[in-house]
Amino acid sequence: MKKSVVLGIGVCIVIAFSSCKSSESAYKKAYEKAKQQELAQPQNANVTTEVAPVVSTQSAPKVVESSAAGVRNERVEVVSGNYGLKDYSIVCGSFGVKANAESLKDFLVREGYNPAIAFNADAAMYRVIVNTFDDRASASNARDAFKAKYTNRKDFQGAWLLYRIK
């Protein structure tokens, strides 16, 4: 009788421990599922926002129209580079950390460009500028040529035009 009671208790203990699953495995499964969903979603690094038209306060008013071509109006100052900015510039990268902008600038120098880095204090962003132009048409053509040259670089496919507000 004692043996059967001890055996019965032993079987009950074994069943109790084997049926209790660790809550850690449920958390681990949920974490892994969330990671898979996160990796499956595309990351949008370059978000283009459209801005309203701006009228310059110079003696002859100059209206700058914003269009789907990716023109942004910003007040920026050159912080690295050896030339002044003209009205329209091609921006191929935007960074919150200056060191990252400098790294891209160094790459562009090795590629034969004369890039500059401009700082937008309102957005606290460093803009890496490939080239700068007086008119929008020239800047747009140069931007398209730049994108065509670097079809294998997704970050350069998001290059956009910057209209410098003075």
Q: What angle do CA 102, 107, 75 make, to 5 degrees?
A: 45
Q: What pLDDT is recorded for position 121? A: 94
Q: What pLDDT is recorded for position 110? A: 95
Q: Is residue 44 part of a domain?
A: no
Q: Is residue 20 part of a domain?
A: no
CATH number at residue 77: 3.30.70.1070
Domain extent, residue 124, equals 71-164
How far does Cα 99 stand from its chain's mean position?
Answer: 15
Q: Is residue 45 part of a domain?
A: no
The C-alpha atoms of residue 67 and residue 64 are separated, in whole angstroms, by 10
Number of domains comprising the chain: 1
Q: Is residue 18 part of a domain?
A: no
The C-alpha atoms of residue 117 and residue 103 are separated, in whole angstroms, by 11
Q: Strands 71-74 and 160-164, how do they pair?
A: parallel
Q: What pLDDT is recorded for position 163? A: 95
Q: What pLDDT is recorded for position 61? A: 36
Is 0.85 topped by the overall pTM?
Answer: no
Q: Is residue 30 part of a domain?
A: no
Q: What pLDDT is recorded for position 94? A: 95
Q: pLDDT (tens digit, 0 to 9) for every residue of the chain, 166 residues total?
A: 777 877 788 777 777 666 555 555 666 777 777 777 767 665 544 555 555 555 544 443 333 344 445 799 999 999 998 778 999 999 999 999 999 999 999 999 999 999 999 999 999 999 999 999 999 999 999 999 999 999 999 999 999 999 999 8
Q: What pLDDT is recorded for position 86? A: 92
**Amino acid identity at 54:** V
Q: Is residue 145 part of a domain?
A: yes
Q: Is residue 149 part of a domain?
A: yes
Q: Is residue 66 part of a domain?
A: no
